[in-house]
Amino acid sequence: MEILMPEPQIYVERTLAIIKPDVIGKEEEIEDLILRSGFHIIQKRKLQLSPEQCSNFYAEQFGKVFFPNLTAYMSSGPIIAMVLARNCAVSYWKELLGPSNSLRARITHPHSLRALYGTDELRNGLHGSLSISSAEKEIRFIFPEAILEPVPTGQRARDYLNLYVKPTLLAGLTALCKEKPADPM
């Protein structure tokens, strides 16, 4: 009789989450919501960005009316930056955050993090990457020591496991069985 086991899930997608200066006091509460939503916190750090660093981080927003206020707000105090991982991390994190305008979020997504912790259009409490490519760029900015390499997904991941991981495990376990240690513990 063959036992059917579910295929293991490999969480390969990562995204950047930032708890902004005005809600840093709610860090534990927010982290608990993140973990209960199925995310794993891979890396975390508390830091304070200078106005210049904020300008570089939000370079894509340069020229917009709110840009000076955004950089002043983001450099006004410490932030908590986290690398979150799970299947479809970017889209799930965006869904959990809700609309960027906290006032709109309260109406359309009342249980979203921005509805719960944001105060207005600018002070929305949390940051989330918009795409996988922006997540990689932002993670490298905040965590320059992070190793982000292309991780295979789908069939490429299964091929990698079959070609490299399974043979190594099989060889190691076979060698262990042949040893038959007197005291395995």
* In the predicted structure, residue 183 carries a pLDDT above the cut 90: no
- Is residue 84 classed exposed, middle or buried when 0-12, 13-18 and 19+ CB atoms within 10 A define those classes? buried
Containing domain of residue 161, as a range? 151-184
In a domain, 170, yes or no: yes
Query: Is there a single domain that holds both residue 161 and residue 105?
Result: no
Say whether 111 is catalytic: no
Query: Is there a single domain that holds both residue 132 and residue 162?
Result: no
* In the predicted structure, residue 158 carries a pLDDT above the cut 90: no
Mean pLDDT of the chain: 88
Higher pLDDT, 3 or 27: 27
In a domain, 39, yes or no: yes
| pLDDT tens-digit map of 73-109 | 999 999 999 999 998 999 999 999 999 999 999 999 9
Residue 28 confidence class, pLDDT cut points 50, 70, 90: very high
In a domain, 92, yes or no: yes
Domain count, the chain: 2
Q: What is the CATH number of the domain that holds 104?
A: 3.30.70.141
Counting every residue written for the chain, the total comes to 185
Q: What is the rounded distance in angstroms from the CA atom of residue 47 to the CA atom of residue 127?
A: 15
Please give the C-alpha separations between residue 175 and each of 30, 38, 168, 181, 183, in angstroms, as whole numbers: 47, 37, 11, 11, 16
In a domain, 2, yes or no: no
